[in-house]
Amino acid sequence: MELRHAALTALQTADPEEKCQLASVIRAQFASYSIAIDPIPEPPSLPGRPAQPRLVPPPEVPRRSPFTPEGRAALIHAVCHIEFNAINLALDAVWRFAGLPAEYYRDWVRVAAEEAEHFSLLRRHLQSLGHDYGDFAAHDGLWEMAEKTRNDPVARMALVPRTLEARGLDATPLIQARLRQVGTQDALEACALLDIILRDEVGHVAIGNRWYRWLCARDGLDPLAHYKGLARTHRAPRLKPPYNDAARRAAGFTEAELQALRDAG
């Protein structure tokens, strides 16, 4: 079995449950795979995903209050959609970029499997609220950045895990605070799920930091200066406070990077 082709097959899979199963199998069987060192031609229509949710521009995603049952379902759906995209992003990082160390592929296979676990947890919670994945409109911002960085692994590591996904480190405690204000049983259960996700996402962002710095060292790039150029070139969203400094430090951000984030915000 060859790893990168297996990851591409999982990425092309549209059914969420099957995609999650494939991600889990790839992680469990990682040691049995060979790893191709040559580029793989890109197939059309990536990633595989179900017909729903309907994808709209970010401003058109309806805002709903978590103080209503429908609003809490919409909130969980939004996080569920992020996790589905995160499965695809991790699988894409495995198949797309050739010639990297085996540990790089091991790391992103782990991320794909953990994101699949997150998606499944959230989907089951959403189903307990009388809804399912696909019931609400969503946006495609995470995958759009994957498209922009498709030819540059340095840009991919800089702008997906350590920029867009790192936003979750900042946003999750704020979401949890609102859910605790609601105080219903389903809201507190959602908080507990977000604790699991936040714990794992610190590790995922750390993996992005690790490989961004490794690639910068390989290519003779200054990580801080190069990041600023990549953010401008690819029009990365400007991050806004408050920042979860503790989680960002745990994920490997340096004090210089945290200060640059504050200065930019």
Architecture of domain 3-51+66-264: Up-down Bundle (1.20)
d(CA 144, CA 56): 12
Q: What is the 3-state secondary structure (H, E, C) of 132-157?
A: CCCCCCECCHHHHHHHHCCCCHHHHH
Residue 2's SS3 state is strand
Check: CB of residue 239 under 8 Å from CB of residue 249. no
d(CA 179, CA 93): 33
d(CA 6, CA 162): 25
The arithmetic mean of pLDDT across residues 215-242, rounded, is 94
Check: CB of residue 109 under 8 Å from CB of residue 26. yes
Angle at 137 between CA 131 and CA 142, to 5 degrees: 115
Does position 56 have pLDDT exceeding 80, yes or no?
Answer: yes
Residue 108's SS3 state is helix
Does position 265 have pLDDT exceeding 80, yes or no?
Answer: no
Q: Could you tell me which residue, 203 or 238, shows the higher pLDDT?
A: 203
The arithmetic mean of pLDDT across residues 214-242, rounded, is 95
The mean predicted confidence, pLDDT, of the chain is 96
The arithmetic mean of pLDDT across residues 114-120, rounded, is 98
d(CA 200, CA 247): 11
Cβ neighbour number for residue 181 with a 10 Å cutoff: 10
d(CA 253, CA 167): 13
pTM over 0.85: yes
Give me 152's structure tokens: 């540059």
Q: What is the pLDDT of residue 264?
A: 80
Query: Domain limits of the chain?
Result: 3-51+66-264
d(CA 161, CA 141): 13
Instruction: Give the helix/strand (H/E) hosting 106.
Output: helix 102-128
The arithmetic mean of pLDDT across residues 3-14, rounded, is 98
Among 5, 29, 21, 149, CA closest to 89: 149
d(CA 172, CA 222): 30
